[in-house]
Amino acid sequence: MTTIQPTFDDLLAHLERQRERGQVHYDDKQQCWLVLGHPEANRVLSDPATFSSDLSELSPKQDELDLLQRGNFIGMDPPQHRKLRTLVSQAFTPKMVAGLEPRIAELTTSLLDATEGSERFDLIDELAYPLPMIVIADLLGIPTSDQALFRVWADTLMSSEDVKPDVSLTEIGEKAIPKVLPTIREMNAYFLDHIRSRQLSPREDLTSELVSAEVDGERLTAEEIVGFVGLLLLAGHVTTTATLGNSVVCFQDNPEAAAEVRADPTLLPAAIEEVLRYRTPFPRLARITRSEVAIGEAVVPAGHVVVPWITAANRDGRVFADPDRFDIHRASNPHLTFGHGIHFCLGAPLARLEAKVAWRILFDRYREISVATDVPVEHVNPWVMVSVTKLPVRVRHR
């Protein structure tokens, strides 16, 4: 029996039905509190003392998972989070990210050169996937020749067949872990080998910077660095891949906006922010309450799972006028796509830069970019991630 893949519109409709039950309410099927409003989600993300990011109790204990999570500060609370984030921030600086612009432009040009002479290609395969993957692999000093392997890892970890609106996070985790453990073992061994090689022989790369970074005389262990390297390599590239693909879809559906940006490139940063709001790559986050707490009009007991739906928060009509309209001229766009508070995405500046540079070159190179209509565009299950996996485009060269 063939399973019909839900669409992004299915997700939006589901979230609006949920919103009718209240901006914050308990869902018996998912066994958690759904947070749909923007101020309410912002409240959850702003208070790590009450809303813990440590979700390890939801998953069965596995040594392989523990190793990968040890340096993954997304799933940590203070003070451990502060130590790791501070150490990583020493190496992953805004200046370092800004300095990558020429390299991003060079890579974008080179990748598009490889399609020269073709009026049709898959934008994900030829640009949106390899561009951020090569940038991050270069940063970490990891061979870009292994990018096919990294894509297999990402596809496995983002497996979506068991993720449905009526299934609890605990059940999803229990079903997913046996499927992903072999991949996680492979990743752990790969990253540990790379990190230990940099401990023995440092080079000019981010992994070597992480190995040598200190806070209060402390350095990260190889085991702690595994989680961050894995996070940056996999989560870091899929966000940019999703944003580039989603922006093509948004521009295809809103040709007047695409024409405006093409005519006035200064509108590009605002357009990218609207893409991030309108088609949020990671639709939801999760927290656990450490004490009883009021969120909006709801009172949530201690020890309960709380799920801020970022997709819903980014379409809250109390914050965003006409939220279902793609509007690159929004006077204010306080979307929560990259999170908020201490867990605000460290890679956000890089994702924004990659998208801006790639689109600047795409507009300069092609006088027309359109989605091919003879084959379907393929998507990830939107309950897991709002992202395009196959995106055939037709282009007209200048």
Structural domains of the chain sorted by starting position, each given as residue range(s) with its CATH number in brackets: 8-397 (1.10.630.10)
Average pLDDT over residues 75-93: 80
CB atoms < 10 A from the CB of 298, how many? 17
pLDDT at 66 > cutoff 70: no
pLDDT at 298 > cutoff 90: yes
pLDDT of res. 188: 87
CB atoms < 10 A from the CB of 151, how many? 18
Are 126 and 99 in contact by the 8 Å Cβ rule? The answer is: no
What pairs with residue 193 in β-bridges?
none
Question: What are 127-130's contacts with CB under 8 Å, separation 24+?
Answer: 127/244, 127/358, 128/240, 128/241, 128/244, 128/245, 128/358, 128/388, 128/391, 129/237, 129/241
The contacts of residue 153 (CB under 8 Å, 6+ apart) are 183, 186, 187, 234
CA distances from 91 to 67, 120, 210 (A): 21, 39, 6
Which pTM was predicted? Answer: 0.92
Residues of the chain above pLDDT 90, percent:
63
Q: Is the dihedral of CA 346, 381, 356, 323 positive or negative?
A: negative
pLDDT of res. 358: 98
Alpha-carbon distance of 276 to 313, in angstroms, equals 12
pLDDT at 355 > cutoff 80: yes
Bond prior to 79 in cis (omega within 30° of 0): yes
Average pLDDT over residues 137-154: 88
Alpha-carbon distance of 371 to 382, in angstroms, equals 20
CA distances from 250 to 53, 308, 366, 368 (A): 32, 24, 17, 15
Q: Would you call 64 helix, strand, or coil by DSSP?
A: helix
pLDDT at 172 > cutoff 50: yes
Alpha-carbon distance of 298 to 21, in angstroms, equals 12
225 vs 103: which has the higher pLDDT: 103
pLDDT of res. 67: 59
Alpha-carbon distance of 315 to 321, in angstroms, equals 9
Are 333 and 273 in contact by the 8 Å Cβ rule? The answer is: yes
pLDDT digits (tens, 9 = 90+) for 238-255: 899 999 999 999 999 999
Specify the DSSP class assigned to residue 309. B
Alpha-carbon distance of 260 to 281, in angstroms, equals 24
pLDDT of res. 5: 78
Q: Is 32 exposed, middle or buried (CB count within 10 Å of its CB: 0-12, 13-18, 19+)? A: buried
Which of 117-131, 162-176, 293-307, 320-334 shows the lowest per-residue confidence on average (mean pLDDT)? Answer: 162-176
Q: What is the mean pLDDT of the chain?
A: 89
Q: How confident is the model at residue 71 (pLDDT cuts 50, 70, 90)?
A: low
pLDDT at 106 > cutoff 60: yes
